Amino acid sequence: MNIEEIKIISGRDKHGNKESVDELVIKKGDVIILAGPTGSGKSLLLSDLEQLANGDSPSGRKVLINGSEIDSLDMPITASLSQNMHFMMDLDVGSFICLHAKSRGIKDTKITQRVLDMANSLAGEPLSASSNLTSLSGGQSRALMIADTALISNAPIVLVDEIENAGINKTKGIEILASEGKMVLIASHDPNLIITAQKRVIMKNGSMSKLIISDAIEREHLNYFLKMDKIIEEFRERLRNGNSLTEETLELLKENMGEQYEK
């Protein structure tokens, strides 16, 4: 089934009141952020989409596929990525990729290397085809799953739940998924991810309370946010590699932060 559009019809909040956002439309390549405090209903919205809610979940929402209600599908339409992802199979990375590609009918002989290259562009520490799945770090596991989902999985929708401290290049990972035509929904507290997306839904009391479309002013803010994030990542790598922070790095921080830096 070729899925061009998903529409989530509003339901009710925790108190039984109608949601402020009447509907949420998601198309191929869209990245939509779900923002809100813990307990605001982000995970429930992801669950509604994953289970093709038809007014039968606590939220009362309905999910339409290409404009129609669908009770069930022959195959899952969602792939999920979360903060706590680890592999249980005692298998090397190359064999895992080959098995998954074979199960999807993919005959590209270079698929293993393509997945590895993409995963290594995201992970802080590289992995190889001979790496054992169970020995991968959390960041390596998530990088591999993002690459695998982008290049092998035929699920058109990717649900991402809290990957703030995932040990990967989060922004690039989301861009990769969207560039492969995936519909991406992300529950996040990360300001970089929140304003990177073209649309974001503000969750409150279990409901979609507001839909915000990112504008040029926000994108200008994003440039500064990404610059600060890059600086933090550089310092993180220095500390990870056993380096100390010195007067030189302090001056570098002052130079980049300008008048906003104070001891």
Question: How do residues 183-222 score in pLDDT, each as one tens digit?
Answer: 999 998 888 788 888 899 999 999 999 999 988 888 888 8
Residue 261 is predicted with a pLDDT of 47
Residue 262 is predicted with a pLDDT of 52
Whether 171 contacts 193, CB under 8 Å: yes
Tell me the pLDDT band of 260, cut-offs 50, 70 and 90: low
Residues 225-251 have a mean pLDDT of 81
Buried b (16+ CB within 10 A) or exposed e, 143-166: bbbbbbbbbbbebbbbbbbbbeeb
Residue 263 is predicted with a pLDDT of 46
> What pLDDT, in 10s, does the model give residues 93-118?
999 999 999 988 888 889 999 999 99
Instruction: Give the separation between CA 79 and CA 46, rounded to whole angstroms.
Output: 11
Q: Which of 35-39, 65-69, 182-186, 234-238 has the lowest average pLDDT?
A: 234-238
For the chain, give percent helix, strand, coil, nearest 5: 40, 20, 40
pTM: 0.80
Whether 175 contacts 150, CB under 8 Å: no
Residue 220 is predicted with a pLDDT of 83
Q: Does the pLDDT of residue 248 top 50, yes or no?
A: yes
Q: Which amino acid is at 224?
A: Y
Instruction: Give the separation between CA 34 and CA 263, rounded to whole angstroms.
Output: 35
Residue 234 is predicted with a pLDDT of 80
Question: What secondary structure does DSSP assign to 191-241, as a single string?
Answer: HHHHHHSSEEEEEETTEEEEEEE--HHHHHHHHHHHHHHHHHHHHHHHHHT
Residue 198: count other Cβ atoms within 10 Å of its Cβ.
Answer: 16
Structural domains in the chain? 1-77+155-214 (3.40.50.300), 90-150 (no CATH), 216-263 (no CATH)
Tell me the pLDDT band of 2, cut-offs 50, 70 and 90: confident
The overall average pLDDT reported for the chain is 86
Whether 36 contacts 202, CB under 8 Å: yes
Buried b (16+ CB within 10 A) or exposed e, 2-27: ebeebbbbbbbbeeeeebebeebebe
Q: Does the pLDDT of residue 231 top 90, yes or no?
A: no
Tell me the pLDDT band of 59, cut-offs 50, 70 and 90: very high
Closest by alpha carbon to 29, among 199, 155, 153, 181? 181
Q: Which of 12-16, 73-77, 131-135 has the lowest average pLDDT?
A: 73-77
